[in-house]
Chain A
Amino acid sequence: MAFRPSKLCLRFPQVRLPDLSSFVQLFCARNVCRVAISNQLFRFVVIASTRDMARKVFNSPTFVKPCVVDAAYKLLRPENWVFLDGKPHVDYRKGLNGLFTRQALETYLPGQEEVYNVYFKRFLQVTKNNNGKAVPFMPEFRELMCALSCRTFVGHYISDHAVKKIADDYYLITAALELVNFPIILPFTKSWYGKKAADVVLEEFAKCAAKSKVRMAAGGEANCILDRWVQSMLASEEYRNKVASGVKVEDTEKPTMLVRMFSDLEISMTLFTFLFASQDATSSAATWLFQIMADRPEFLEKVREENLRVRGGDRHAPPTMDMLENQLPYTRAVVKETLRYRPPVIMVPYIAKKDFPITDSYTVPKGTSPLYAGIGPQFGRRGVRYNENLTWLYRIHGGANNLSCAPR
Chain B
Amino acid sequence: MVPTTYLALHDSEAYPNPETFDPERWISGDADKQVKNWLVFGTGPHYCLGQQYAQLNLMLMIGKASMMLDWKHQITDLSEEIKVFATIFPMVSLSMLLQNTLVPDGRELDRVWCANSS
Q: Which residues of A contact B (CB under 8 A)?
A: 1, 3-4, 7-8, 11-12, 17-18, 20-21, 23-25, 27-28, 31, 45-51, 53-61, 64, 66, 89-90, 93, 96-97, 100, 102, 105, 108-109, 112-113, 116-117, 120, 123-124, 126-128, 130, 132-138, 148, 152, 174, 177-178, 274, 277-278, 280-297, 299-300, 303-308, 311, 313, 315, 319, 321, 324-325, 328-352, 356, 364, 368-370
Q: Is the CB of A113 within 8 A of B64?
A: yes
- Kindly list chain B residues whose C-beta atoms are within 8 Å of the C-beta of A51: 7-8, 11, 14, 36-37, 39
- Kindly list chain A residues whose C-beta atoms are within 8 Å of the C-beta of B80: 1, 291, 342
Known: A58-B46, A347-B2. A324 touches B59 (CB 8 A): yes
Q: Is the CB of B60 within 8 A of A134?
A: no
Q: Is the CB of A116 within 8 A of B3?
A: no
- Kindly list chain A residues whose C-beta atoms are within 8 Å of the C-beta of B25: 333, 337
In the bound complex, CA of A56 to CA of B24 (Å) = 30
Distance (Å) between the CB of A237 and the closest chain B CB?
23
Known: A127-B112, A344-B87. A291 touches B105 (CB 8 A): no
Q: Is the CB of B3 within 8 A of A53?
A: yes
In the bound complex, CA of A277 to CA of B72 (Å) = 29
Q: Is the CB of B117 within 8 A of A109?
A: no
Known: A96-B49, A307-B67. A350 touches B88 (CB 8 A): no
Q: Which residues of B contact A (CB under 8 A)?
A: 1-11, 14-15, 19, 21-27, 31-32, 36-40, 42-50, 52-73, 75, 78-91, 93-99, 103-105, 107, 110, 112-117
In the bound complex, CA of A345 to CA of B22 (Å) = 20
Q: Which of B1, B68, B86, B103 contacts A369 (CB 8 A)?
A: B1
Distance (Å) between the CB of B82 and the closest chain A CB?
6
Q: Which of B63, B87, B114 contacts A307 (CB 8 A)?
A: B63
In the bound complex, CA of A348 to CA of B25 (Å) = 26
- Kindly list chain B residues whose C-beta atoms are within 8 Å of the C-beta of A332: 26, 55, 59
Q: Which of B45, B59, B94, B116 contacts A287 (CB 8 A)?
A: B94
- Chain B, Cβ-Cβ closest to A99: B49
Q: Which of A48, A293, A296, A304 contacts B4 (CB 8 A)?
A: A48
Q: Is the CB of A342 within 8 A of B94?
A: no
Q: Is the CB of A17 within 8 A of B96?
A: no
Q: Is the CB of B50 within 8 A of A277?
A: yes
Q: Is the CB of B88 within 8 A of A284?
A: yes
Q: Is the CB of A277 within 8 A of B42?
A: no
- Kindly list chain B residues whose C-beta atoms are within 8 Å of the C-beta of A25: 6
In the bound complex, CA of A18 to CA of B86 (Å) = 9
Taking A116-B68, A284-B87 as known contacts, 20 extra A-B pairs with beta carbons closer than 8 A to each other, sorted by chain A number, are A17-B86, A20-B2, A24-B6, A49-B7, A51-B14, A57-B1, A61-B44, A132-B97, A134-B95, A134-B117, A178-B86, A290-B65, A291-B114, A295-B79, A299-B23, A319-B60, A336-B55, A341-B21, A343-B40, A346-B4
- Kindly list chain A residues whose C-beta atoms are within 8 Å of the C-beta of B11: 51
A/B interface sample: 9 pairs, CB < 8 A: A23-B2, A51-B37, A55-B3, A134-B115, A289-B61, A291-B114, A324-B60, A328-B63, A337-B25
- Chain A, Cβ-Cβ closest to B29: A333
Distance (Å) between the CB of A152 and the closest chain B CB?
8
4 smallest A-B Cβ distances: which pairs? A294-B73, A51-B8, A333-B26, A54-B3
- Kindly list chain A residues whose C-beta atoms are within 8 Å of the C-beta of B54: 278, 281-282, 285
- Kindly list chain A residues whose C-beta atoms are within 8 Å of the C-beta of B23: 299, 330, 333-334, 336-337
